[in-house]
Structure formats: structure tokens, C-alpha cells
């Protein structure tokens, strides 16, 4: 059995919008209670001043490790702070010393191979709803580059490819991005699992990808979930033993956790 989860961390920010080492420490401790073998995380800050210049991936790996080290990797979508074209630029790689924003994968099992895929943005400006009390209700922001990160995990039943990504919240861009991720993943070993905030509601993600959903359940907003944006999708000789949504820290998304039975020697 392989236990996996996907979680949008929102950089560890709490409900007041505060971020920093203490907030991330709290979020990481909550994520550790998911009790999984592989965790995909979206909206991860890496050395960004807004969250205390913390290497959030390394800190999360330390929180997950109980008696054994975890393998972890951060993949940068942008360098700098997202939200304004003046504060970020597209990432072409993931240097360890560059303040960045992106996704992370963490594995209890050894990782045989890592791979990254960069997904360019659309030219559109996209609306972001601001919290009550803000000066205005909607902020228009540039669409951001995205990134997919894959790990070929040496699980007990055999190698499994696990991919995590965070797609554009413009569906006209998220759909072709998901197609691109699917084409890229076909060159990686089966069986395959996709963990991510795909920003595609309900059945659309499974329909576009052709992969099997582990669970259909609303994940956003966490306080009163109405729509499923977060998905665990499987491809290849894999069955779902159980799956559920979970609250993790103060994230505005619910995490999605699944227990998968992977056929030994999947091709």
C-alpha cells in the first residue's frame, strides 16, 4: 500500500494573512498528522521574505521525519514573490539559494529519479477575490508560470511515479497545462499518481486527463467546501483502498489523502 496526500499550503499563512517561521512550523506539524508515504505540496515559499526567508521544503521534511530521513525536492515556478509582474520572474531552474515560489514533493521511500516540467502562463490577468474588509473586492494579477515536479519512488511494491503540480486558475490555461503534464508523464514509469491543486472543478480534471480519481469531494474553500480543486488521480495498475479530505492548519484548501494498492511490477 502507498499512502499519498496533496495539500495546498498557502505558504503557511494563517487566517490573518500572517506568515513566517512559526506559522510554517505549525502547518508542517499539522501536515505530519496526515501519516503518508508521499506528500505533494503546492504554494510553497522558498527563502521568501514574506514568510520569514524559510526553506519551507526542508523544514517540512524535518517535521515529517520520525526516526528516518525523508527525501524532498522543491521546484520553482517563479523567482520572487508572486502577485505582481514587478515582483517575480519565470523560473528556468530551481537553484537552492534563489528566493522562489512553487511546489514540493516529499517521500518516505527512496527516490530513484527527479524531473521537472515548466508550464508557461497565458497572457491574461486573472481575478483574485480579496478577504472581507479589503479596500477592494477583487485584485487582478498576471497569470503565473507553473511547474510540475515528478519523483520515481522506490515503493515496497515497485517503482511508482508521483507528480505534483499547481495549475493556472484560468481554466482556459489549466486544461492545456494538464494535457501537457499528461504527455510528459507518459515518458515516466507506470503506475503513475498525480497530486495537485489543478484548479479544475469536480469531474473535469479526471475527464481531461483520462486518469482515475481517488475521491470526488469538495476541497475549497476549506471553511465551507463547495468545489473540488485538489485531486489525486491514478494511472496504471493501481486501485484505491480509501480516500478522504482533511483540514491541515489554516490553509484555505482541504488536503486530500488516499491509500493506494499498487500492483507489483506495474508496466
Distance CA 244, CA 21 (A): 29
CA atoms of 109 and 68, how far apart (whole Å): 10
CATH code of 256's domain:
3.60.10.10
Any domain includes 173: yes
What are the tens digits of pLDDT across the range 141-171? 778 999 999 999 999 989 999 999 999 988 8
Name the E strands within 130-211: 138-142, 146-155, 158-166, 192-197
* Average pLDDT, rounded, for the chain: 91
Q: Can you list the alpha helix ranges (DSSP code H) found in the chain? A: 21-32, 56-64, 171-185, 204-209
The region of weakest confidence among 20-24, 191-195, 225-229 is 20-24
Rounded (5°) CA angle 202-219-32? 135
Mean per-residue pLDDT for 20-41?
94
Note the Cα 264 to chain centre separation in Å.
Answer: 26
The average pLDDT across 205-213 equals 96
Helix (H, G, I), strand (E, B) or coil at 138: strand
Domain encompassing residue 238: 2-262
User: Grid coordinates representing 197?
Assistant: 491543486
Q: What is the pLDDT of residue 76?
A: 98
Residue 186 located in a structural domain: yes
Q: Rounded to whole angstroms, how far apart are CA atoms 179 and 183?
A: 6
Number of domains in the chain: 1
SS3 at position 125: strand
What does the longest C-alpha to C-alpha distance in the chain come to?
56
pLDDT in tens, 180-194: 999 999 999 999 999
The DSSP call for residue 187 is T
- Answer whether residue 267 is part of any domain: no
Cell numbers that stand for 129 in this block:
477575490
Amino acid at each position: 500500500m502507498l499512502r499519498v496526500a496533496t495539500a495546498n499550503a498557502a505558504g503557511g499563512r494563517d487566517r490573518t494573512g500572517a506568515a513566517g517561521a512559526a506559522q510554517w512550523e505549525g502547518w508542517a506539524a499539522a501536515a505530519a498528522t496526515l501519516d503518508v508515504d508521499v506528500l505533494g505540496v503546492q504554494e510553497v515559499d522558498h527563502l521568501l521574505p514574506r514568510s520569514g526567508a524559510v526553506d519551507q521544503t526542508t523544514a517540512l521534511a524535518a517535521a515529517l521525519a520520525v526516526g528516518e530521513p525523508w527525501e524532498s525536492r522543491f521546484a520553482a515556478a517563479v523567482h520572487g514573490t508572486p502577485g505582481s509582474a514587478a515582483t517575480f520572474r519565470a523560473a528556468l531552474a530551481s537553484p537552492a539559494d534563489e528566493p522562489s515560489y512553487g511546489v514540493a514533493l516529499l517521500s518516505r521511500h527512496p527516490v530513484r529519479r527527479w524531473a521537472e516540467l515548466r508550464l508557461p502562463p497565458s497572457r491574461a490577468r486573472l481575478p483574485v477575490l480579496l478577504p472581507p474588509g479589503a479596500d477592494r473586492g477583487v485584485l487582478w494579477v498576471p497569470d503565473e508560470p507553473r511547474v510540475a515536479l515528478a519523483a520515481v519512488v522506490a515503493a515496497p511494491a515497485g517503482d511508482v511515479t508521483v507528480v505534483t503540480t499547481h495549475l493556472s486558475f484560468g481554466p482556459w490555461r489549466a486544461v492545456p497545462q494538464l494535457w501537457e503534464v499528461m504527455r510528459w508523464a507518459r515518458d515516466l514509469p507506470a503506475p503513475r499518481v498525480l497530486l495537485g491543486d489543478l484548479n479544475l472543478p469536480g469531474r473535469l480534471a479526471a475527464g481531461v486527463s483520462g486518469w482515475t480519481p481517488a475521491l470526488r469531494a469538495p476541497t475549497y474553500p476549506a471553511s465551507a467546501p463547495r468545489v473540488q480543486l485538489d485531486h489525486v488521480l491514478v494511472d496504471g495498475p493501481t486501485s484505491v483502498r480509501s480516500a478522504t479530505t482533511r483540514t491541515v492548519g489554516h490553509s484555505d484548501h482541504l488536503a486530500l489523502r488516499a491509500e493506494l494498492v499498487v500492483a507489483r511490477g506495474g508496466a
